[in-house]
Amino acid sequence: MSASYMFTPAPIPVLPISGTDALFPVHRIYCVGRNYADHAIEMGHDPNREAPFFFQKNPDSLILPGADFPYPTATRDVHHEIELVVALHSGGVGIAPQEALGRVFGYAVGLDMTRRDLQAEAKKAGRPWEVAKAFDHAAPCSAIQPAERIGHPQAGAIWLKVNGETRQQGDLGQMIWKIGEMISYLSNLFTLRAGDLIFTGTPAGVGPVERGQHLQGGVDGVGTLDLRVI
């Protein structure tokens, strides 16, 4: 006789995969901070290549393509951060940088939505970032494009428009830590698994959003995002 759950477990978070009906089951969401020099500078930090640092979002905070972003509670300053998202089909520990791209299933476009006011308070007090980064609906994301279709992008425009006006404009080639290096570094901190997503950092131009605004973003060759703040 198998044990039964005390209540129905929450559904497994998923992302659609472009060009197929199959769903990508999401395990964890890792995010890298300050991975574009111009964004590090705008946040008041040294853009030199210090070791990467990571935080996490909750997998059930994903917003699927076609859904809107509900303005969160407990903040007056929610910022957009447009990012390339890496989706892993296998994992491990101690992965060498030159082997890391072999773990990648594909790529998507995501928004690392951030309660900037709560993050500033947390930074000042030396507190953790979860309330700033891991809140409900904090991770809008596009469908995943399989790497076997698009390859492993190393350059290409990454951009975000608010109500049609460009706010963020960068290039994947500006990333301080490259995709393989990030995967390798993370795999020395956590056991990576199939289903893990990695948000790879944002270029300069982050700023606040307001209810009613239209957010459009993309990474050339990967995909686009299109949603409203409600």
Binding site for Mn ion (CB under 5 A): 81, 112, 202
For residue 38, give the amino acid letter: D
Identity of the residue, 119 or 145, whose beta carbon is nearer to Mn ion in the bound complex: 119
Residue 56 C-beta: closest distance to Mn ion, Å: 12
Identity of the residue, 85 or 144, whose beta carbon is nearer to Mn ion in the bound complex: 85
Distance CA 162, CA 114 (A): 16
Residue 58 C-beta: closest distance to Mn ion, Å: 15
Residue 197 C-beta: closest distance to Mn ion, Å: 13
145, burial (CB in 10 Å: exposed 0-12, middle 13-18, buried 19+): buried
Residue 14 C-beta: closest distance to Mn ion, Å: 22
Identity of the residue, 53 or 98, whose beta carbon is nearer to Mn ion in the bound complex: 53
Identity of the residue, 61 or 202, whose beta carbon is nearer to Mn ion in the bound complex: 202
Picking from 87, 77, 133, the residue whose alpha carbon sits closest to that of residue 108 is: 87
Rg of the chain's alpha carbons, rounded to an integer?
17
- The DSSP output letter for 59 is G
Residue nearest to Mn ion (CB): 112
Residue 228 C-beta: closest distance to Mn ion, Å: 21
Identity of the residue, 81 or 196, whose beta carbon is nearer to Mn ion in the bound complex: 81
